[in-house]
Amino acid sequence: MSAAKNINITLQIWRQKNAKVKGKMETYKLNDVSTASSFLEMLDQLNEQLVNERKEPVAFDHDCREGICGMCSLYINGRAHGPDTGITTCQLHMRMFNDGDTIVIEPWRSVAFPVVKDLVVDRSSFERIQQAGGFVSVNTSGNTIDANTLPVPKADADKAFEAAACIGCGACVATCKNGSAMLFVGAKVSQYALLPQGKVEATNRVLNMVRQMDEEGFGNCTNTGACEIECPKGISLENIARMNREYLSASLK
């Protein structure tokens, strides 16, 4: 890895006071940005500069800054989470950019993700989809059930674990030309559909989650595969196919 250096960049950032007013792109110059800093640290540097200039800082979501929570979702130079693969925005570093670069930063674009302010969007639609999935029945009467009472084939356990790795950041929606949430919903359906513990409510779960997804205003999937490419956790398109099979089976029942 090359030694860190300082670069000067131009930022074009979407500014929007709230969901009720029109937003616009605004341009900022930022000098002496270390290539060792993360993308969010660069935004912190910008906001410090704006505060010193007595200007309104840029609002953006962040929490763990460890690629776990998915809060740091930004659309950077036309790509969800920026010009790297398998990462969230907080894992993106400024060494991916060059001195003199112009970086365009936007919020997720989706009817189902209304802008709260600047780069912050409301992703509670994802939460409502998960809530529509309901619960998992567990028999708690009597003694505690041993973990190996319900054996799970290793292949199924691995697939369920991979599906459960979805952090719900919304990159799949932001990068899809249709604004589809089917990769997200497919992952959440799959993590239960593959396990015996999820079989009891399987029919209602997939029907309710798909219904809620449609009510939220997400688009449909046309299998372009962009969602899988930009997903920071590499969630497979297989989960969409599994969800479709589960939905068809539940509809016939």
| CATH, residue 85 | 3.10.20.30
Do 16 and 54 lie in one domain? The reply is yes
Expressed as residue numbers, the domain containing 219 is: 124-252
Whose tokens are 């359906």? That residue is 189
Do 48 and 135 lie in one domain? The reply is no
Among 68, 88, 116, residue at a domain's last position: 116
Among 116, 135, 150, residue at a domain's last position: 116
The model carries a pTM of: 0.93
Burial class for 148, CB neighbours closer than 10 Å (0-12, 13-18, 19+): exposed
Q: What's the domain count of the chain?
A: 2
Do 108 and 188 lie in one domain? The reply is no
Do 83 and 162 lie in one domain? The reply is no
Do 30 and 110 lie in one domain? The reply is yes
Q: 3-class DSSP state for residue 29?
A: strand
Among 99, 116, 133, residue at a domain's last position: 116
**Tens digits of pLDDT across the chain (253 residues):** 568 999 999 999 999 999 899 999 999 999 999 999 999 999 999 999 999 999 999 999 999 999 999 999 999 999 999 999 999 999 999 999 999 999 999 999 999 999 999 999 999 999 999 999 998 876 666 676 666 677 889 999 999 999 999 999 999 999 999 999 999 999 999 999 999 889 989 999 999 999 999 999 999 999 999 999 999 999 999 999 999 999 999 999 8
CA contacts within 13 A on the Cβ side of 2: 10
